Amino acid sequence: MSDEERISRREALKKVGSGSLTVLGAGIVVGAVGTHAAAHAATADAAGAAAAGDVHDGDAAYGGGRVSGELPTGAAAGPYGNDFSPPDDLAPGHLDALTFPPRPVRGTVEVEMTVVERSLPVSRAHTVAAWTYNGTAPGPIIRATEGELIRVRFRNATGFDHNLHFHGRHSPQQDGWEPVPPGGETEYEIVAGPAGVHPYHCHTMPVDRHIAKGLYGTLIVDPPGGRPEANEVVLVLSGWDVDDDGRNEAYAWNGIAGFYEKFPIKLPVGEPVRVYVVNVTEYDPVASFHLHAETFAVYPAGMGDRPAFSGDVVTLGQMERAILELTLSEIGRYMFHPHQHAMAGRGATGWLSAI
Protein backbone atom coordinates (compact mmCIF):
# COMPACT_ATOMS: atom_id res chain seq x y z
CA MET A 1 0.00 0.00 0.00
CA SER A 2 1.40 3.41 -0.97
CA ASP A 3 1.73 6.28 1.52
CA GLU A 4 -1.10 8.11 -0.27
CA GLU A 5 -3.40 5.10 -0.06
CA ARG A 6 -2.54 4.58 3.62
CA ILE A 7 -3.29 8.21 4.49
CA SER A 8 -6.54 8.11 2.52
CA ARG A 9 -7.67 4.97 4.29
CA ARG A 10 -6.82 6.38 7.72
CA GLU A 11 -8.76 9.56 7.00
CA ALA A 12 -11.77 7.54 5.83
CA LEU A 13 -11.71 5.61 9.10
CA LYS A 14 -11.60 8.83 11.11
CA LYS A 15 -14.43 10.68 9.39
CA VAL A 16 -17.27 9.05 11.27
CA GLY A 17 -16.02 9.92 14.76
CA SER A 18 -18.78 11.44 16.87
CA GLY A 19 -16.84 13.94 19.05
CA SER A 20 -16.41 17.64 18.46
CA LEU A 21 -13.67 20.13 19.24
CA THR A 22 -14.39 23.80 19.86
CA VAL A 23 -11.58 26.24 19.10
CA LEU A 24 -11.34 29.56 20.88
CA GLY A 25 -8.54 31.84 19.72
CA ALA A 26 -5.15 30.21 20.11
CA GLY A 27 -6.32 27.54 22.53
CA ILE A 28 -8.84 24.75 22.69
CA VAL A 29 -11.83 24.31 24.92
CA VAL A 30 -12.36 20.75 26.03
CA GLY A 31 -16.02 19.90 26.47
CA ALA A 32 -16.97 17.24 23.98
CA VAL A 33 -13.60 16.05 22.73
CA GLY A 34 -12.56 15.57 19.09
CA THR A 35 -11.73 12.15 17.69
CA HIS A 36 -8.38 10.94 16.39
CA ALA A 37 -7.21 7.71 14.77
CA ALA A 38 -9.40 4.87 13.60
CA ALA A 39 -13.15 5.15 14.17
CA HIS A 40 -16.19 3.20 13.00
CA ALA A 41 -16.02 3.63 9.23
CA ALA A 42 -18.94 2.91 6.98
CA THR A 43 -16.55 2.30 4.09
CA ALA A 44 -14.90 -0.50 6.05
CA ASP A 45 -18.03 -2.26 7.27
CA ALA A 46 -17.88 -5.06 4.71
CA ALA A 47 -14.24 -5.80 5.44
CA GLY A 48 -14.90 -5.41 9.15
CA ALA A 49 -17.75 -7.90 9.09
CA ALA A 50 -15.56 -10.46 7.35
CA ALA A 51 -12.56 -9.78 9.57
CA ALA A 52 -14.24 -9.13 12.89
CA GLY A 53 -17.19 -11.47 12.62
CA ASP A 54 -19.99 -9.01 13.37
CA VAL A 55 -22.38 -11.84 14.26
CA HIS A 56 -19.86 -13.93 16.18
CA ASP A 57 -21.18 -15.28 19.47
CA GLY A 58 -18.80 -14.32 22.27
CA ASP A 59 -17.05 -16.84 24.52
CA ALA A 60 -19.41 -17.80 27.33
CA ALA A 61 -16.59 -17.26 29.84
CA TYR A 62 -16.71 -13.56 28.98
CA GLY A 63 -20.46 -13.07 29.21
CA GLY A 64 -21.61 -14.55 25.90
CA GLY A 65 -21.94 -11.26 24.05
CA ARG A 66 -21.43 -10.80 20.34
CA VAL A 67 -18.42 -8.78 19.30
CA SER A 68 -20.57 -6.46 17.23
CA GLY A 69 -24.24 -5.90 16.58
CA GLU A 70 -26.90 -6.90 19.05
CA LEU A 71 -26.29 -9.05 22.09
CA PRO A 72 -28.53 -12.10 22.45
CA THR A 73 -31.56 -11.56 24.64
CA GLY A 74 -33.15 -13.86 27.17
CA ALA A 75 -31.30 -16.13 29.56
CA ALA A 76 -27.87 -15.17 30.84
CA ALA A 77 -24.86 -16.68 29.09
CA GLY A 78 -21.80 -17.83 30.99
CA PRO A 79 -21.09 -17.49 34.72
CA TYR A 80 -21.53 -13.70 34.76
CA GLY A 81 -24.41 -13.35 32.31
CA ASN A 82 -25.45 -10.39 30.20
CA ASP A 83 -25.78 -8.08 33.20
CA PHE A 84 -22.27 -6.90 32.30
CA SER A 85 -23.05 -5.99 28.72
CA PRO A 86 -23.73 -2.36 27.75
CA PRO A 87 -27.19 -0.80 27.95
CA ASP A 88 -29.32 -1.79 24.96
CA ASP A 89 -29.82 1.75 23.66
CA LEU A 90 -26.13 2.57 23.08
CA ALA A 91 -24.81 2.93 19.52
CA PRO A 92 -21.29 2.00 18.29
CA GLY A 93 -20.01 5.61 18.39
CA HIS A 94 -21.24 6.32 21.92
CA LEU A 95 -17.73 6.32 23.46
CA ASP A 96 -15.76 7.76 20.53
CA ALA A 97 -14.96 11.01 22.36
CA LEU A 98 -13.44 9.00 25.23
CA THR A 99 -11.72 6.43 22.99
CA PHE A 100 -9.94 8.50 20.34
CA PRO A 101 -7.87 11.41 21.68
CA PRO A 102 -8.03 14.87 20.11
CA ARG A 103 -5.23 15.98 17.84
CA PRO A 104 -2.40 17.87 19.56
CA VAL A 105 -2.60 21.64 19.21
CA ARG A 106 -0.23 24.53 19.85
CA GLY A 107 -0.99 27.27 22.34
CA THR A 108 -2.74 27.58 25.68
CA VAL A 109 -5.19 24.76 26.31
CA GLU A 110 -8.40 26.19 27.74
CA VAL A 111 -10.60 23.70 29.58
CA GLU A 112 -14.11 24.16 30.94
CA MET A 113 -14.66 21.54 33.66
CA THR A 114 -17.87 21.21 35.68
CA VAL A 115 -18.61 18.54 38.28
CA VAL A 116 -22.14 17.24 37.68
CA GLU A 117 -24.05 14.58 39.57
CA ARG A 118 -26.11 12.32 37.31
CA SER A 119 -27.69 8.91 37.06
CA LEU A 120 -25.32 6.94 34.83
CA PRO A 121 -26.21 3.58 33.23
CA VAL A 122 -22.92 1.65 33.30
CA SER A 123 -24.23 -1.73 32.11
CA ARG A 124 -27.45 -3.41 31.08
CA ALA A 125 -28.25 -4.16 34.73
CA HIS A 126 -26.51 -1.38 36.65
CA THR A 127 -27.16 2.34 37.02
CA VAL A 128 -25.10 4.39 39.47
CA ALA A 129 -25.52 7.80 41.07
CA ALA A 130 -22.26 9.13 39.64
CA TRP A 131 -20.19 12.25 40.14
CA THR A 132 -18.79 13.24 36.75
CA TYR A 133 -16.55 15.77 35.05
CA ASN A 134 -18.66 17.36 32.28
CA GLY A 135 -21.26 14.62 32.51
CA THR A 136 -19.09 11.62 31.60
CA ALA A 137 -17.00 9.07 33.48
CA PRO A 138 -14.17 9.14 32.51
CA GLY A 139 -14.12 12.90 32.08
CA PRO A 140 -12.96 14.50 28.81
CA ILE A 141 -9.53 13.72 27.41
CA ILE A 142 -7.22 16.73 27.80
CA ARG A 143 -4.21 16.97 25.48
CA ALA A 144 -1.31 19.41 25.47
CA THR A 145 2.32 19.65 24.40
CA GLU A 146 5.02 19.63 27.06
CA GLY A 147 5.66 23.19 28.25
CA GLU A 148 2.24 24.52 27.19
CA LEU A 149 -0.09 26.15 29.69
CA ILE A 150 -3.27 24.31 30.63
CA ARG A 151 -5.90 26.61 32.12
CA VAL A 152 -8.91 24.92 33.70
CA ARG A 153 -12.02 26.89 34.70
CA PHE A 154 -13.50 24.59 37.32
CA ARG A 155 -17.07 24.68 38.64
CA ASN A 156 -18.72 22.49 41.25
CA ALA A 157 -22.41 22.04 40.43
CA THR A 158 -23.09 19.38 43.09
CA GLY A 159 -24.03 19.48 46.75
CA PHE A 160 -20.64 18.13 47.90
CA ASP A 161 -17.05 19.41 47.97
CA HIS A 162 -14.94 18.45 44.94
CA ASN A 163 -11.73 19.50 43.20
CA LEU A 164 -9.33 18.57 40.37
CA HIS A 165 -5.86 17.10 40.86
CA PHE A 166 -3.48 16.29 37.98
CA HIS A 167 -0.72 13.70 38.13
CA GLY A 168 2.59 14.68 36.56
CA ARG A 169 4.78 17.70 37.32
CA HIS A 170 3.48 21.19 38.13
CA SER A 171 3.59 23.92 40.76
CA PRO A 172 2.41 22.74 44.20
CA GLN A 173 0.36 25.94 44.32
CA GLN A 174 -1.80 24.43 41.54
CA ASP A 175 -1.97 20.88 42.87
CA GLY A 176 -5.75 20.83 43.26
CA TRP A 177 -6.15 19.26 46.69
CA GLU A 178 -8.13 22.15 48.22
CA PRO A 179 -11.88 21.39 48.33
CA VAL A 180 -14.15 23.54 46.18
CA PRO A 181 -17.53 23.92 47.97
CA PRO A 182 -20.94 23.31 46.40
CA GLY A 183 -21.65 26.04 43.85
CA GLY A 184 -18.05 27.22 44.02
CA GLU A 185 -15.55 27.71 41.23
CA THR A 186 -11.84 28.20 40.81
CA GLU A 187 -9.14 28.25 38.14
CA TYR A 188 -6.17 25.94 37.81
CA GLU A 189 -3.12 26.74 35.70
CA ILE A 190 -0.46 24.10 35.15
CA VAL A 191 2.43 23.84 32.71
CA ALA A 192 2.00 20.51 30.96
CA GLY A 193 4.68 17.98 31.74
CA PRO A 194 6.44 15.71 31.65
CA ALA A 195 5.62 14.15 28.28
CA GLY A 196 3.54 11.05 28.91
CA VAL A 197 0.06 10.00 29.91
CA HIS A 198 -1.27 11.11 33.29
CA PRO A 199 -4.57 10.68 35.11
CA TYR A 200 -6.53 13.46 36.73
CA HIS A 201 -9.09 12.94 39.49
CA CYS A 202 -10.89 14.44 42.46
CA HIS A 203 -8.77 14.60 45.62
CA THR A 204 -11.46 15.48 48.16
CA MET A 205 -11.78 13.22 51.20
CA PRO A 206 -12.69 10.41 51.16
CA VAL A 207 -10.67 10.27 47.94
CA ASP A 208 -11.43 6.62 47.17
CA ARG A 209 -15.19 7.27 47.17
CA HIS A 210 -14.90 10.37 44.97
CA ILE A 211 -12.83 8.48 42.39
CA ALA A 212 -14.99 5.36 42.55
CA LYS A 213 -18.10 7.42 41.82
CA GLY A 214 -16.64 8.67 38.51
CA LEU A 215 -14.34 11.66 39.04
CA TYR A 216 -11.32 10.79 36.90
CA GLY A 217 -9.95 11.28 33.40
CA THR A 218 -6.88 11.33 31.16
CA LEU A 219 -4.26 13.97 30.37
CA ILE A 220 -1.99 13.28 27.38
CA VAL A 221 1.18 15.36 27.20
CA ASP A 222 3.05 15.16 23.89
CA PRO A 223 6.79 15.78 23.62
CA PRO A 224 7.69 19.07 21.86
CA GLY A 225 8.50 17.26 18.63
CA GLY A 226 5.40 15.08 18.80
CA ARG A 227 5.21 11.32 18.57
CA PRO A 228 5.41 9.23 15.39
CA GLU A 229 2.16 9.00 13.45
CA ALA A 230 -0.10 6.22 14.72
CA ASN A 231 -3.74 5.30 15.17
CA GLU A 232 -4.43 6.25 18.78
CA VAL A 233 -6.78 4.79 21.38
CA VAL A 234 -7.39 5.68 25.05
CA LEU A 235 -8.50 2.89 27.41
CA VAL A 236 -9.29 3.82 31.02
CA LEU A 237 -10.03 0.88 33.31
CA SER A 238 -12.42 1.52 36.19
CA GLY A 239 -14.59 -0.37 38.65
CA TRP A 240 -18.16 0.43 39.64
CA ASP A 241 -19.30 -0.05 43.23
CA VAL A 242 -22.98 -0.23 42.37
CA ASP A 243 -24.25 -0.84 45.93
CA ASP A 244 -21.86 1.44 47.89
CA ASP A 245 -20.34 -1.39 49.91
CA GLY A 246 -16.70 -0.50 49.18
CA ARG A 247 -16.31 -3.29 46.61
CA ASN A 248 -16.62 -3.22 42.83
CA GLU A 249 -19.38 -5.26 41.27
CA ALA A 250 -18.76 -4.22 37.63
CA TYR A 251 -15.72 -3.18 35.60
CA ALA A 252 -15.39 -1.15 32.43
CA TRP A 253 -13.08 0.34 29.84
CA ASN A 254 -14.05 4.00 29.41
CA GLY A 255 -16.98 3.74 31.77
CA ILE A 256 -19.40 1.27 30.15
CA ALA A 257 -19.18 -2.45 31.01
CA GLY A 258 -18.88 -4.71 27.98
CA PHE A 259 -18.96 -1.87 25.47
CA TYR A 260 -15.93 -2.94 23.42
CA GLU A 261 -17.02 -6.57 23.51
CA LYS A 262 -20.23 -5.59 21.75
CA PHE A 263 -18.61 -2.84 19.64
CA PRO A 264 -14.97 -3.68 18.78
CA ILE A 265 -12.50 -0.85 18.25
CA LYS A 266 -11.80 -0.89 14.51
CA LEU A 267 -8.22 -0.21 13.40
CA PRO A 268 -6.49 -0.49 10.02
CA VAL A 269 -4.45 -3.65 9.64
CA GLY A 270 -0.69 -3.24 9.33
CA GLU A 271 -0.53 0.35 10.65
CA PRO A 272 1.07 1.53 13.92
CA VAL A 273 -1.27 1.69 16.91
CA ARG A 274 -0.68 3.63 20.12
CA VAL A 275 -2.80 2.74 23.16
CA TYR A 276 -2.92 4.99 26.22
CA VAL A 277 -3.86 2.65 29.09
CA VAL A 278 -4.81 4.11 32.49
CA ASN A 279 -5.89 2.17 35.59
CA VAL A 280 -8.16 4.29 37.82
CA THR A 281 -9.77 1.32 39.58
CA GLU A 282 -10.43 1.87 43.28
CA TYR A 283 -10.90 -0.97 45.81
CA ASP A 284 -8.72 -3.36 43.74
CA PRO A 285 -4.98 -2.98 44.45
CA VAL A 286 -3.79 -4.22 41.07
CA ALA A 287 -5.07 -4.69 37.53
CA SER A 288 -3.50 -5.38 34.14
CA PHE A 289 -3.94 -5.12 30.38
CA HIS A 290 -3.53 -8.26 28.30
CA LEU A 291 -3.77 -8.39 24.50
CA HIS A 292 -4.37 -11.69 22.72
CA ALA A 293 -2.43 -12.78 19.62
CA GLU A 294 -0.02 -9.80 19.57
CA THR A 295 2.71 -8.15 21.63
CA PHE A 296 3.36 -4.48 22.37
CA ALA A 297 6.17 -2.17 23.43
CA VAL A 298 5.61 -0.60 26.87
CA TYR A 299 6.43 2.96 27.91
CA PRO A 300 5.61 3.16 31.64
CA ALA A 301 3.64 6.36 32.31
CA GLY A 302 4.27 7.10 28.63
CA MET A 303 7.72 8.45 29.47
CA GLY A 304 11.07 7.91 27.83
CA ASP A 305 12.44 7.80 24.31
CA ARG A 306 12.44 4.02 24.08
CA PRO A 307 10.24 1.26 25.53
CA ALA A 308 11.15 -0.28 28.88
CA PHE A 309 10.12 -3.75 27.71
CA SER A 310 7.83 -5.64 25.38
CA GLY A 311 5.20 -8.26 26.14
CA ASP A 312 1.52 -9.09 26.00
CA VAL A 313 0.65 -8.19 29.62
CA VAL A 314 1.37 -4.99 31.52
CA THR A 315 0.55 -4.85 35.24
CA LEU A 316 -0.75 -1.59 36.71
CA GLY A 317 -1.31 -0.51 40.29
CA GLN A 318 -3.88 2.13 41.15
CA MET A 319 -3.41 5.23 38.97
CA GLU A 320 -0.53 3.64 37.09
CA ARG A 321 -0.58 3.98 33.30
CA ALA A 322 1.40 3.20 30.17
CA ILE A 323 1.64 3.90 26.48
CA LEU A 324 1.62 0.71 24.41
CA GLU A 325 2.79 0.65 20.79
CA LEU A 326 1.94 -2.21 18.45
CA THR A 327 0.84 -3.23 14.98
CA LEU A 328 -2.06 -5.55 14.22
CA SER A 329 -0.40 -7.43 11.40
CA GLU A 330 -3.29 -9.67 10.32
CA ILE A 331 -6.99 -9.06 9.72
CA GLY A 332 -9.06 -10.37 12.62
CA ARG A 333 -10.21 -9.83 16.19
CA TYR A 334 -7.71 -9.34 19.03
CA MET A 335 -9.23 -9.74 22.49
CA PHE A 336 -8.07 -7.51 25.37
CA HIS A 337 -8.88 -7.66 29.08
CA PRO A 338 -7.30 -7.53 32.54
CA HIS A 339 -5.65 -10.81 33.47
CA GLN A 340 -7.64 -10.58 36.68
CA HIS A 341 -10.42 -12.67 35.16
CA ALA A 342 -13.12 -11.65 37.61
CA MET A 343 -12.69 -8.12 36.21
CA ALA A 344 -12.66 -9.41 32.64
CA GLY A 345 -15.86 -11.37 33.14
CA ARG A 346 -17.67 -8.51 34.85
CA GLY A 347 -17.43 -6.09 31.93
CA ALA A 348 -13.74 -5.42 31.20
CA THR A 349 -13.34 -7.50 28.04
CA GLY A 350 -13.13 -5.98 24.57
CA TRP A 351 -11.75 -6.44 21.06
CA LEU A 352 -9.40 -4.61 18.74
CA SER A 353 -10.64 -5.39 15.23
CA ALA A 354 -8.01 -5.15 12.47
CA ILE A 355 -9.72 -4.42 9.16
Contact indicator for 156, 183 with CB cutoff of 8 Å = yes
The residue count of the chain comes to: 355
pLDDT grade for 57, boundaries at 50, 70 and 90: very low
Q: Sort strands 350-354 and 149-156 into parallel, antiparallel or unpaired.
A: unpaired
Q: What is the average pLDDT across 101-128?
A: 95
pLDDT grade for 82, boundaries at 50, 70 and 90: confident
- At residue 26, the pLDDT reads 33
Q: What is the average pLDDT across 186-203?
A: 97
pLDDT grade for 198, boundaries at 50, 70 and 90: very high
Cα–Cα distance for residue pair 180/216, rounded to 1 Å? 16
Q: Where are the beta strands (DSSP E) in 170-244?
A: 185-191, 196-201, 216-222, 231-240
pLDDT grade for 323, boundaries at 50, 70 and 90: very high
Q: Which residues pair with 127 in a beta bridge?
A: 121
Cα–Cα distance for residue pair 66/63, rounded to 1 Å? 9
Flag whether the pTM goes above 0.85: no
Burial group, residue 87, by CB count within 10 angstroms (0-12, 13-18, 19+)? middle
Q: Sort strands 27-30 and 22-24 into parallel, antiparallel or unpaired.
A: antiparallel
Among the ranges given (48-57, 116-125, 191-200), the one the predictor scored with the smallest mean pLDDT: 48-57
Is the pLDDT at 47 greater than 60? The verdict is no
Is the pLDDT at 297 greater than 70? The verdict is yes
**Averaged pLDDT score across all residues of the chain:** 83
Share of the chain above pLDDT 90, in %: 75
Question: Which residue has better confidence, 309 or 4?
Answer: 309
What are the backbone angles phi and psi of residue 82, rounded to the nearest 5°?
-85, 5
Predicted confidence (pLDDT) per residue in 184-194, tens digit = 999 999 999 99
pLDDT grade for 230, boundaries at 50, 70 and 90: very high
Is the pLDDT at 291 greater than 60? The verdict is yes
Around Cβ 88, how many Cβ atoms within 10 Å? 12
**What's the gap between Cα 155 and its chain centre?**
23
Q: What is the average pLDDT across 335-353?
A: 97
- At residue 81, the pLDDT reads 62
pLDDT grade for 80, boundaries at 50, 70 and 90: low
Domains and CATH numbers, the chain: 3-354 (2.60.40.420)
Is the pLDDT at 177 greater than 50? The verdict is yes
